[in-house]
Amino acid sequence: MTKTITNSHIIFALLITLFGSACLSAQTAPQQQLETTKDRMRASWRTKLEKRIVPLEEIIAGGPPKDGIPAINSPRFVAPLEAAEWLGGNEPVISLTLKGESRAYPLQILMWHEIVNDQIQDQLVTVTFCPLCNTAIAFDRRLEGRALDFGVSGMLRHSDMVMYDRQTESWWQQISGEALVGDLAGKILRQFPAQIIGFDQFRRAFPKGKVLSRETGFSREYGRNPYTGYDSIDGKPFLFKGKTDTRLKPMERVVAIDLNGTAKAYPHSVTSRLRVIPDSIRETDVVVFHAEGAQSALDRSRIAESRDIGATGVFRPELDGKKLTFSYKDGFFIDKETGSKWDILGQAISGELKGSQLERLVHSDIFAFAWLIFKPETAIYGADEK
């Protein structure tokens, strides 16, 4: 009971911190959180509400108004050495590599903005983070030849952020990258493999990489976690009215994969113990890595003081047609076949295969409730195989 009340107070305090006294109504009149989208949003949106693939009643006001959480549209980057002046070694970042360039997006910044519209060479990308679901996802923001820019709608569906594109004001589900309402309803954005890892893990792998700067054009308490204690495994998700899957606690983190329409989830309670999980999904071999070295962004009030929950990666365990098997030692992975040493990003950093890269697979480190409400057919590793 105490934890539930605490989590509720955390969110109300967050809304007041972010948006001022205008959000006090969220505390004094919580029923307003649940008013229908149609009633609240009609005046401020040009979205074609009649064109949709989900009931409008499933999309609710999360507290902040449209763009109340401001996306970063002109991101600036600094070298890892400069970022180390304000970013702790185990603080979590979203690592993304495209076109041979690697960039880190610290969660201490994404916590307050949730969306970064970026461009890596000629590749348009939107990097997103929903604190309520712990989902860090990178999307191709070019759809059928059209460039899209995304913002935070202020709405939620099943506790997950609803994004919107500024070109058509269609509403998009962050977890799936699917447009729910508006002209683009039914369209799906392509995802890029991205990982939540520790900053030191990123800069060791990419010493010439780039790190999103705190110079965002906004004044925020970067480094502070306004959701203190939210990721307690015994807690409850915010504004979630869906049915929970009894196979896992709602707030357990899972490594979730959807491979060719087959979904599987690997609980952190298992991956953090085994460290390496070889598996097969639809006859495709995969390997799940879990290494120490990354802190939670949703634990202590200062992210740098939070507990280490580790980082994960999912890869195809083969190189040049040869299958590899791995073990874990001191934060790294050793393949049995050559004795080469690999990092959490699937890069061989020493040994015969030094310089090689395993094929990265799209995955999410996500709270179980959020993945399972959208993918109820998901198999749970270790639970559905006994």
Is the confidence at residue 41, as pLDDT, over 90? no
Task: Return d(Cα 371, Cα 146) in angstroms, integer.
Answer: 29
Q: How far is CA 307 from CA 92, 150, 250, in A?
A: 11, 32, 19
Q: What is the CA angle 263-264-265, rounded to 5?
A: 135
pLDDT at residue 241 in the model: 85
Task: Report the predicted TM-score, pTM, of the whole model to 2 decimal places.
Answer: 0.90
Query: Which residue has better confidence, 44 or 146?
Result: 146
Is the confidence at residue 333, as pLDDT, over 80? yes
Q: Confidence band (pLDDT; 50, 70, 90) for 385?
A: low
Please name which of 116, 64, 308, 76 lies closest in space to residue 201, comparing C-alpha atoms: 308
Fill in the DSSP letter of residue 70. Answer: P
Cβ-contact 44, 142 below 8 angstroms: no
Q: Confidence band (pLDDT; 50, 70, 90) for 275?
A: very high
Task: Return d(Cα 339, Cα 327) in angstroms, integer.
Answer: 10
Tens of pLDDT, residue by residue over 134-186, are: 999 999 999 999 999 999 999 999 999 999 999 999 999 999 999 999 999 99
Query: Of the ranges 13-27, 170-184, 195-209, 327-341, which one carries the lowest mean pLDDT score?
Result: 13-27
Tens of pLDDT, residue by residue over 361-378, are: 999 999 999 999 999 999
- Assign 3-state DSSP to the chain and report helix, strand, coil percentages, each to 5: 20, 35, 45
Tens of pLDDT, residue by residue over 195-221, are: 999 999 999 999 999 999 999 999 999
Residue 320 CB partners (closer than 8 Å, separation 6+): none
Is the confidence at residue 11, as pLDDT, over 90? no
**For the chain, which residues make up each domain, given as ranges?**
253-380
Task: Return d(Cα 256, Cα 239) in angstroms, integer.
Answer: 22
Is the confidence at residue 13, as pLDDT, over 60? no
pLDDT at residue 244 in the model: 85
Is residue 296 classed as helix, strand or coil in its secondary structure?
coil
Structure tokens given for 206: 């990419």
Q: Confidence band (pLDDT; 50, 70, 90) for 129?
A: very high
Is the confidence at residue 297, as pLDDT, over 90? yes
Is the confidence at residue 15, as pLDDT, over 50? no
Is the confidence at residue 61, as pLDDT, over 50? yes
In the beta sheet, which residues pair with residue 126? 117, 139
Mean per-residue pLDDT for 253-272? 96
The distance of Cα 296 from the centroid of its chain, to the nearest Å, equals: 12
Tell me which H or E stretch contains 15: helix 2-19
Mean per-residue pLDDT for 312-327? 96
Please tell me the CATH superfamily of domain 253-380, with its number: Rieske [2Fe-2S] iron-sulphur domain (2.102.10.10)
Exposure of 70 in the CB half-sphere (CA atoms within 13 A): 11
Is the confidence at residue 95, as pLDDT, over 60? yes
pLDDT at residue 39 in the model: 58
